Amino acid sequence: MSPVPDSPSALVAAFDAYAARWPQEADCVALFIALAGDARQDPFTRGRLGGHFTASALLLSGDGRRTLLTHHRKLGLWLQPGGHADGDRDLARVALREAEEETGLSGLTLEPGIFDLDRHWIPEHKGVPAHWHYDVRYVIRAGDDEAFVVSEESHALAWRDLATLVDDSAIDASLRRMARKWLTRAEAAAAPP
């Protein structure tokens, strides 16, 4: 019997599976596993200012060639949609919910498994002290309707070609890494056996 999706053992198993696919990221994975095992303070709530889980999505067009980015209102950067777990221990569900809320898209589908992990520093904002986000990232695909709606959390949204993101120094390094991972995966899938 497999672990319940929102149980600590399921999350650690997902981190282990990710580490098996990306062994060069073992140090990063170890940080995520340690956070998941911290019983002193709930790492799924933003009140844990030593660091807490967030979830986000590489939100892809149906053809897998473009991603929908948000110009984040607080950070002033073009980023993938995502946000705080706010107590939800099913981070895949969090990523899907955030993608829907931040883009207004319906009919989104979640691909199984963690796609990327990123631990990043969030600066102090409106009295909330600076802290770490442990962002667990998933691939989510748009349906046929790609017409988005800009939410209060964004200045703008835009579909961007993944191939152009890889070398765009104006884009966050972790987003460029995700674009590279996706394009490498797509090339491998398209290669003849």
Q: Distance (Å, rounded) from C-alpha 19 to C-alpha 136?
A: 13
User: What pLDDT does residue 2 have?
Assistant: 47
Q: Tell me which H or E stretch contains 177.
A: helix 173-190
Only one residue has tokens 């290669």, namely: 191
The third-level CATH classification (topology) of the domain covering 8-190 is Nucleoside Triphosphate Pyrophosphohydrolase (3.90.79)
User: What pLDDT does residue 74 have?
Assistant: 73
User: What pLDDT does residue 73 have?
Assistant: 73
User: What pLDDT does residue 117 have?
Assistant: 98
Residue 56's nearest CA partner among 88, 92, 114, 95 is 95
Enter the pTM of the model: 0.92
With beta carbons less than 8 A apart as the criterion, state whether 154 and 73 touch.
yes
- Where do the structural domains in the chain lie, given as residue ranges? 8-190
Q: Distance (Å, rounded) from C-alpha 53 to C-alpha 110?
A: 19
Q: Distance (Å, rounded) from C-alpha 173 to C-alpha 55?
A: 17
User: What pLDDT does residue 6 have?
Assistant: 59
Q: Distance (Å, rounded) from C-alpha 148 to C-alpha 71?
A: 13
Question: How far apart, in Å, are the Cα atoms of 39 and each of 4, 20, 44, 66, 67?
Answer: 18, 25, 11, 39, 36
User: What pLDDT does residue 39 have?
Assistant: 73
User: What pLDDT does residue 1 have?
Assistant: 39
User: What pLDDT does residue 7 have?
Assistant: 67
pLDDT per residue of the chain (193 residues) written in tens, 0 to 9: 344 555 668 899 999 999 999 999 999 999 999 999 887 889 999 989 889 999 999 999 999 999 999 988 777 788 999 999 999 999 999 999 999 999 999 999 999 999 999 999 988 888 889 999 999 999 999 998 888 877 777 788 899 999 999 999 989 999 999 999 999 988 888 777 7
